[in-house]
Structure 1
Amino acid sequence: MSVAESRPRVRQVVLDTTDVRGLAEFYRELLGWGYRSGDEPPPPGEPDRADWLVLRSEAGVGLAFQQVDELPEATWPEGPRPQQLHLDMTVETPEELDAQHERVLLLGGRLLLDRRDDPDEPLRVYADPAGHPFCIFV
């Protein structure tokens, strides 16, 4: 393929947050991904000066987190601040959807919409600790 025919590849999705380590830890626990080398938390008792962190999946897909001073929370599904981006995640069975529901809540996520009983596409929509909506569906 020539340079003229090549295409860019998505490296990662970046989420703004007022708590860069906290949001990275939420997704690290939820997805089981690891930090990019050098982005791990500092040793106990040392300050965490991170303002940009990256998680990587085994497939190389990444989620990055960028520190911002303030971030108005999305008011999805209605209101003045619609979501501008959301993550879609999937599981294989309704039982896995229920198990992930409990994990999301324990990790600090909030349920926004419950369509678990939808016969065509069972799903739940959540907000992460920074207020970013994301979906888990079967």
Structure 2
Amino acid sequence: MVDHLELLQTVIDTTEPRTLAEFYRKLLGYVYRLGDEPTGVGEADDPDWLVLTDTVGTRRLAFQQVDQLETTTWPSNEVPMQMHLDLTVRDSGEFERQRQRVEELGAIVLFDRTNDEDEPLLVFADPAGHPFCIFVVS
């Protein structure tokens, strides 16, 4: 008997589940859960719930449609962060490569602490406005 709960997945609210799922699919190399893949060209594709898994099928992220989503104003406190993901890379070269890739995928920089010698850090907003961090872990 297990005496603790197991985390199934992290659920992210969004007004556009497919758009945000595609962003994170490309960013993290995940795949759609069977049945959640995009439909064919020209077909309607307006799911209200999508799941991404890692390559062995473990659920990692889910995207839940909401009618309205107030974008965080972080680092200002009017609308707090509420949740964020911490993503890591192994060295400064990969840090810069991923920064460019993340911006090409549509994220915007909210906070840039790349000159910090102890812990270079970038905080981005994904296409729905959710913050996420990238930093180097050696």
TMscore range, shorter length: over 0.9
CA contact (8 A) 2:106 2:126 kept: yes
**Cα RMSD (Å):** 1.1
1:37 lines up with 2:24 in the alignment: no
Structure 1 segments of 4+ aligned residues over 3 angstroms from their partners: none
How far does the alpha carbon of each residue in 1:82-125 deviate from its partner, in whole angstroms, 9 at most, with x for none? 11110000000111111111111111100011111211111100
Whether contact under 8 Å (1:109, 1:129) holds in the other structure is yes
Does the 8 Å CA contact 2:18/2:46 hold for their aligned counterparts?
Answer: no
Percent identical among aligned pairs is 55
Structure 2 unaligned runs (5+)?
none
| Structure 1, unpaired ranges of 5+ | none
Offset at 1:58?
3.3
TM-score normalised by the chain length of structure 1: 0.94
- Partner amino acid, structure 2, of 1:71: L
Q: How many residue pairs get matched? A: 135
Report SS of the residue matched to 1:129.
Answer: coil
Could you state the TM-score of these two structures normalised by the residue count of structure 2?
0.94
Task: Map 1:1-138; keep pairs closer than 5 Å.
Answer: 2=1, 5-58=2-55, 60-138=58-136
Check whether the contact 1:97–1:123 (CA below 8 A) recurs between aligned residues: no
